[in-house]
Amino acid sequence: MNLLKNIKTTARNVLQNEADALIDLIPHIGADFEACVEDILQNSGRLVVTGIGKSAIVSNKIVATLNSTGTPSLFMHAADAIHGDLGMIKEEDFVICVSKSGNTPEIKVLIPLVKQLGSKLIAIVGDETSYLGKQADYVLYAGIKEEACPNNLAPTTSTTAQMAMGDALAVCLLSARGFSAESFARFHPGGALGKKLYMRVGDVMDSSLLPIVSEDATLKDAIIEISSKRLGATAVVDPRGKLKGIITDGDLRRMLQRAADLSTIKARDIMTPKPKVIKVDDYAVSALGLMRAHNITQLVVLAAGTVVGFIHIHDLMKEGIV
């Protein structure tokens, strides 16, 4: 139990240390940060992010976030830069150098070369008075009081601060550009996330199954339509194809329990008027939200007010949206 208590205490201390470090960075978001964002927005260059050691790993993550949110970026390892990788940098590019100390040998070699290329240098650095801090055109301060490591050695809190500063930069850029959910979807077409962001109802529903009957259809006609289309329901439409109601399996069961004479029953007599509907161009994830909100498993799909199909919870499950 004592060991378990120590484990929990240590873990909580790590999280508290890193949380406090991020809060301490807030006052350092000032004029230099704002000017940096504005300069990037006003120019067409890419962001080349570089670092060494753990900072290189953080740099890769920053590049991934920037690319996925509309800012063209690429990673350049600081150690490889002087062995040919500098060729990826164009004069109009911005070079973001990520470093805790700002004084590592690789960084000191790299910085004059970047300057010679004419690119602007952005520092995400833990020491503003370091070589990197003094040489940078813009300094995004990511300093910490101490690492979460009990020996104050392993990069823990410092890499968290670097990553958070990269996130702050990326989010400011996407916000300024008006980067929308639709924009995000264009860069994330794969997997469930992408499908939620770009798939429309018309992409998901099976348009070959269109159970519809007229308001004057007999009970037998309605049952045959529901059974043959295997969706558990049929839409009831007027002569122009406009929706008047819906008949579900449940409606049929309830009607059979209370009706004595079935021969005179028409579709209009048992349909539920004004059913829940969705437009064919709406997002599929919106259909899921409607189904969950009303505890139903399917929706009538409309195009210009005309019934064009049904979307079922199983359609969403097949696409991995649920």
Annotated binding site for Zn(2+): 77
In the block, residue with structure tokens 């120590």: 6
Binding site: which residues?
77
Which residues, 6 or more positions from 309, have their beta carbon under 8 angstroms from its beta carbon? 205, 206, 207, 209, 210, 280, 300, 301
CA dist., res. 310 & res. 124, Å (int): 52
Give φ, ψ of 266 to 5 degrees.
-110, 165
102 and 127 Cβ atoms separated by less than 8 Å: yes
DSSP 8-state symbol, 283: B
192 and 271 Cβ atoms separated by less than 8 Å: no
Which residues, 6 or more positions from 221, have their beta carbon under 8 angstroms from its beta carbon? 213, 267
Dihedral sign for Cα atoms in the order 227, 228, 231, 235: negative
**Could you tell me the two tokens for 254?**
């309830």
Which residues, 6 or more positions from 74, have their beta carbon under 8 angstroms from its beta carbon? 46, 47, 48, 49, 63, 88
291 and 299 Cβ atoms separated by less than 8 Å: yes
CA dist., res. 85 & res. 192, Å (int): 35
CA dist., res. 287 & res. 317, Å (int): 12
Which residues, 6 or more positions from 306, have their beta carbon under 8 angstroms from its beta carbon? 240, 241, 242, 243
